[in-house]
Amino acid sequence: MFRVVIPARFASTRLPGKALLPIGGKPMLQWVYERASSAGAHEVLVATDDERIASAARAFGAAVIMTAGTHSSGTDRIAEVARSRQWAGHEVVVNVQGDEPLIPAAAISQVARLLPAHPAGDIATLATALESLEELLDPNVVKVVTDTNGMALYFSRAPIPWNSDSAPAGRASQSNFAGARRHRGIYAYRVAALLRLAQLPRGMLEQREKLEQLRALEHGLRIYVEEALERPGPDVNTLADLERVRAQIAAAGHNG
C-alpha cells in the first residue's frame, strides 16, 4: 500500500500559476492527478497553501489538504501532511510533482514498489539513460551515480561520471556520454525518513548544487535508484516547456 501526495503552489518564479495553466482543456494539475490516480495508490492528495489551486483541485474531484505557506520545498509540504494525518513511520508516500503532466502512472507505481523490495533504502527514485552529450554537459539536467547495489552515491548538475579517456583536451573535447544517467524527480519515502529529512538543516552540498536530495545523502539517508521502466515526459518550468507539452498532447489526441 502506498499514498501519493502532489505538492502544488501558485507562486513560480519562471511560470507563475503554472499548476492551473490549461493543457488540452484541463489545468496542468488535473493531468498530474489523473496519472497519479491510475497508479494503484491507496490515496491521492493535493497539498497546497493556495485557495485558487485548492478550488480547482476540488472541482475535478481531488482531495485537498491545506498546508502552511512557509514551506521551501515540496518535501516539507508533504511532511506536514504526513504529520497531520499521523501516518505510520513504515508507510510509503510518493511525491509526484505538480508540474509533470506527462508522468506515467507506471513510473509512480514503480517507485512506490522499490522501498518494500529494498529494505536498506530510506528513499527511492528513478533514473534514465542520457540521450545526448548535450544533456551530460547541461547543468539543468541532474545526473546520478550509484553503487553496485543501486544506492545513490551522488547527484550533480556537473557531468558525472566523467569519461577521461574521451576528453583528451578537457570539457570541450568530451565525446562520450555512455553510462551517464539522468535523475527523474519522483520520490518514494518511508514516512519516518520523510519526517527526519524535513527536520534536517541544509548542508553544504545542497547549498552549492541547489539539489535537495543531497541533504539526504549528507545526513546518511540511503536513496535507492532504479532505471525507469517507462521514460517520463517533460516537466513544465517555462512557457516553452508548456507549449511543448501542449503540442505533444494535441498530437497524441488523448485526454489522459
User: Which pLDDT belongs to residue 224?
Assistant: 98
Cis peptide before 27 (omega within 30 of 0): no
H or E, element range at 110: helix 105-117
Q: What is the pLDDT along the chain (256 residues), one digit of tens a residue?
A: 999 999 998 877 778 899 999 999 999 999 999 999 999 999 999 999 999 999 999 999 999 999 998 888 889 999 999 999 999 999 999 999 999 999 999 999 999 999 999 999 999 999 999 999 999 999 989 999 999 999 999 999 999 999 998 988 888 889 889 999 999 999 999 999 999 999 999 999 999 999 999 999 999 999 999 999 999 988 898 899 999 999 999 988 765 5
CA dist 72 and 62 (Å) reads 23
User: Which pLDDT belongs to residue 15?
Assistant: 86
User: Which pLDDT belongs to residue 218?
Assistant: 97
Asked whether residue 239 is assigned to any structural domain, the reply reads yes
H or E, element range at 2: strand 2-8
If we measure between CA atoms, which residue out of 218, 156, 147 comes closest to residue 182?
156
User: Which pLDDT belongs to residue 100?
Assistant: 92
Note the Cα 58 to chain centre separation in Å.
23
The residues, ordered by sequence, that sit 6+ positions from 49 with a Cβ below 8 Å of its Cβ are 9, 66, 67, 68, 69, 71, 77
Asked whether residue 57 is assigned to any structural domain, the reply reads yes
Asked whether residue 113 is assigned to any structural domain, the reply reads no
C-alpha cell at 102: 506527462
User: Which pLDDT belongs to residue 189?
Assistant: 98
Asked whether residue 206 is assigned to any structural domain, the reply reads no
If we measure between CA atoms, which residue out of 229, 220, 228, 239 comes closest to residue 184?
228
CA dist 94 and 50 (Å) reads 21
The number of distinct structural domains making up the chain is 1
The residues, ordered by sequence, that sit 6+ positions from 206 with a Cβ below 8 Å of its Cβ are 212, 214, 215, 218
Asked whether residue 21 is assigned to any structural domain, the reply reads yes
Asked whether residue 58 is assigned to any structural domain, the reply reads yes
SS3 174: coil
**Domain range enclosing 49:** 1-103+234-256
User: Which pLDDT belongs to residue 197?
Assistant: 96
H or E, element range at 143: strand 143-146
> CA-CA distances (angstroms) from residue 85 to 45, 65, 82, 94, 96?
11, 10, 5, 15, 18
Asked whether residue 162 is assigned to any structural domain, the reply reads no
Q: Characterise 48 by phi-psi region: left (phi > 0), alpha (psi -120 to 50), beta (else).
A: beta
**CATH assignment of the domain containing 241:** 3.90.550.10
Asked whether residue 38 is assigned to any structural domain, the reply reads yes
